[in-house]
Amino acid sequence: MTRIDLDASRWRTRADFYAALLPRLGAPDWVGGNLDALFDCLGGGILSLAPPFLVIVHRVDAMPAGEAAYVRRAEQVFADARATFGQAVELRFASGD
């Protein structure tokens, strides 16, 4: 399983999340920065990184609260992609760092 570690300590907006995540997944440049587009990407076929993979986001609590809450919603998007598409993709938030 490929592991991707992302450091959110300097992120201020959800756009920072997508700017860090999408290239690491190998998403084409035309993929939008929103949860629906992320879900579609995780469905398979357009990412250059093939599952299985695990994304761990560190220090998300350094973000402004509203933006951090939005980014945390991506965890459910990954879970929905696992259930809907049968893809071995996971996103976690590291605690305590």
How much is the average pLDDT of 85-95? 94
How much is the average pLDDT of 74-78? 98
How much is the average pLDDT of 65-92? 97
**Domain ranges within the chain, ordered by starting residue:** 2-93
Q: How confident is the model at residue 96 (pLDDT cuts 50, 70, 90)?
A: low
User: CA separation (Å) from 94 to 43, 61, 74, 83?
Assistant: 24, 10, 14, 22
Q: State the architecture of 2-93 in CATH terms.
A: 2-Layer Sandwich (3.30)
Q: How confident is the model at residue 97 (pLDDT cuts 50, 70, 90)?
A: low
Sheet arrangement for strand 2-7: 2-7, 53-58, 89-93
pLDDT, tens digit (0-9, with 9 covering 90-100), for 8-32: 999 999 999 999 999 999 999 999 9
> Could you give the CA distance from residue 6 to residue 94 in angstroms, rounded to a whole number?
10
Q: What is the pTM of this model?
A: 0.94
How much is the average pLDDT of 41-70? 96
